[in-house]
Amino acid sequence: MVTTVLDEKPEKVQAIVIFQASAGFGPYECGAFESIAAEMDKKQEELAVVAGTSSGSLNAVMIAKSYKDQQKSTRTATAKKAAEDLKKFWTTVLPFQFPQLFPPYAGLQFPLVENMQRLLNVGFTFLVGNPHMFTRDLSALSPLAPYHYSASAVEKTLQEHFGTYEGRDPRLIITAVNVQSGCIKTFDSGKEEITPEMIAACGSFPMLVPAKNIDGEYYWDGGAWTTTPLGDVMNSLMSLDDDKQAAARESIPMYKVYLVNAHPQQAPLPQELVGVIYRMWDILVGDKTLYEIKSSERLNKYIELVQFLKQHYDKLPEEVKPEVKQSYEYIAQIKKWATLHFVHLRRAGLPGDYWSSEADFSLNRINELIDQGRRETQQQLEDWNSRQEEVESLQKEINDLLEKLEKQQAAPVH
């Protein structure tokens, strides 16, 4: 676990944004990033790492590309512009649907008609695919074929709208799983150039599209290993700098980690077969990072305690001073640790989810999910900030009390 606490607060907090494997919920993550971007720009947080797997990798790569394009044209980049570019990608490049059955009427809603349209959109996608993401493979019509679609369409889309990416400003991390070895494969722009073929590998869902061949190795969707690549990002942070750069750092960096999870963790008990299947899928692909987050938070608290004791070293009993000194020196010598503060953002289910499944790429559905992501994330960020203000206020009260006690102890007795 790469986590620690600083003696002094760093000048700027660096942001890490991680997108979960989300299938048809990619637009939700797009909307979520719109609210995250507003938070980052408001607090002047620099995007250090953007990561994702499966469809989450699409969001990650387009954000990285926007930063790269902005820096080329203006030498500066904002999260807001990256969010706008990502939304444009989802709403102008990727939509595809069955022709509208009935024209929408302002102020009127017809749930049955809307749900029928959703089902037709999903059925149409399964029948012909999406010309911007995946298409039917006519050479694999047998029900027993290992796959039924081709991912060449998404490679073509990415070649046109993404190109390649290399560098650490921000660092782009996407993941796939090696079919033969069963091990995770991390594609890291800090070490290699990210290509459309690599991105396609990260979204090559088993049984739908063939495993992607890259340099003689075959890869499936990274969500088959883990739907939230938090561990892979944390491991990559260990190699963010070489040993000389890390040793030269005056302070350990602080990261604010935005985890965007598109699959609802909680939901009502399903009452029909479709609901059972859908809920089972949510649980299978849901976020599993709680243990990693809790472990990081516990380690942070331990190190905070050690540093607090070091600050009051002179007042400690002599018998505990050697152990406190040893623990503090151990913390100080590890130059590649970082402070991690987690912001866990979760999606709530919508009534239309059953009908739209994860294969409705109509513009209406995309806009529905973008709006939900923006709205829910904004509220969750406000709640998180409120809790942080309460914690900081309590810490200030404790520090003021300790300072007052120290002054009383230091005052001469008459």
Residue 252, pLDDT score: 59
* CB-CB contact of 349 with 358 (8 Å): no
Dihedral class, residue 334 (left if φ above 0, else alpha if ψ from -120 to 50, else beta):
beta
DSSP 8-state symbol, 253: -
The dihedral sign for the CA sequence 108, 110, 115, 120: negative
pLDDT tens digit string along 301-329? 776 777 778 777 887 888 888 888 888 77
Residue 3, pLDDT score: 39
pLDDT tens digit string along 157-211? 999 999 999 998 999 999 999 999 999 999 999 999 999 999 999 999 988 899 9
Sequence length of the chain is: 414
Q: Are strands 149-150 and 14-19 parallel, antiparallel or unpaired?
A: unpaired
Residue 246, pLDDT score: 52
Chain position carrying tokens 């919920």: 25
* One-letter amino acid of 309: L
* CB-CB contact of 263 with 348 (8 Å): no
Whose CA is closest to 65, among 176, 208, 174? 174
DSSP 8-state symbol, 176: E
* CB-CB contact of 265 with 89 (8 Å): no
Residue 68, pLDDT score: 95
Q: Are strands 171-178 and 339-346 parallel, antiparallel or unpaired?
A: unpaired
* CB-CB contact of 130 with 361 (8 Å): yes
Return d(Cα 37, Cα 31) in angstroms, integer: 10
Q: What is the pTM of this model?
A: 0.84
Residue 307, pLDDT score: 72
* One-letter amino acid of 22: S
Residues of the chain with pLDDT under 70: 1-11, 102-110, 238-252, 285-289, 291, 300, 303, 331-338, 352, 411-414
Q: Are strands 171-178 and 46-53 parallel, antiparallel or unpaired?
A: parallel
